[in-house]
């Protein structure tokens, strides 16, 4: 963590709705919506592993970090989809949590996430920061 964290909110995109046509189009959809997300920023969150897929499958959230190629500057994006995620489904249906069903749901979508797309997400937070972990206590999930 840097000696002094800075966080500059990119307020003009907060509240924006993004339609992500397919999982492979996630980065392009974010870049098309957030002008500050220039070509010098590379996706730091591992798109092929559970870092993006897991939270989206479980909670319908996207917590994505990009890093500038030449500096320790990060651009962070936090989005929510109301109609995606196991726990959103439970809230809407009132069904009791069943761990075996949950595990089958998560493992199934980790292998093949495309049925969750297209997805409509709302940008809840977006910022530029010198601290990749600036939101570690702001948005707690696992």
Q: Where are the domains of the chain?
A: 7-129
**Cα–Cα nearest to 27, from 13, 15, 38:** 38
What does the DSSP assignment read for 110-137?
HH--GGG-SEEEEEEEEEEES-TTTTTT
Distance CA 113, CA 123 (A): 21
Instruction: Give this prediction's pTM.
Output: 0.84
**CA–CA separation, 139 and 89 (whole Å):** 20
Please report, in angstroms and rounded to a whole number, the separation of the first and last CA atoms in the chain: 21
Asked whether the CA dihedral 92, 108, 77, 136 is positive or negative, the reply is positive
Nearest by Cα to 68 from 132, 138, 139: 132
Which pLDDT belongs to residue 93? 65
Q: What is the pLDDT along the chain (142 residues), one digit of tens a residue?
A: 445 678 899 999 999 999 999 999 999 999 999 999 999 999 987 755 678 888 999 889 999 999 999 999 999 999 999 788 877 666 666 667 778 888 888 888 889 999 999 999 999 999 999 988 777 667 665 4
pLDDT at 1: 47
């Amino acid at each position: 963590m840097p000696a002094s964290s800075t966080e500059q909110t990119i307020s003009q995109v907060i509240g924006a709705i993004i339609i992500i046509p397919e999982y492979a189009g996630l980065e392009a959809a974010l870049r098309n919506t957030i002008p500050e997300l220039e070509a010098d920023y590379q996706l730091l969150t591992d798109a092929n592993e559970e870092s993006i897929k897991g939270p989206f499958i479980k909670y319908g959230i996207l917590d994505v970090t990009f890093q500038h190629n030449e500096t320790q500057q990060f651009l962070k994006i936090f989005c929510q989809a109301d109609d995606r995620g196991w726990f959103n489904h439970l809230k809407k249906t009132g069904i009791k949590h069943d761990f075996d069903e949950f595990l089958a749901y998560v493992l199934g979508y980790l292998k093949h996430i495309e049925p969750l797309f297209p997805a409509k997400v709302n940008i809840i937070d977006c910022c530029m920061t010198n601290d990749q972990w600036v939101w570690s206590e702001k948005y707690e999930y696992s």
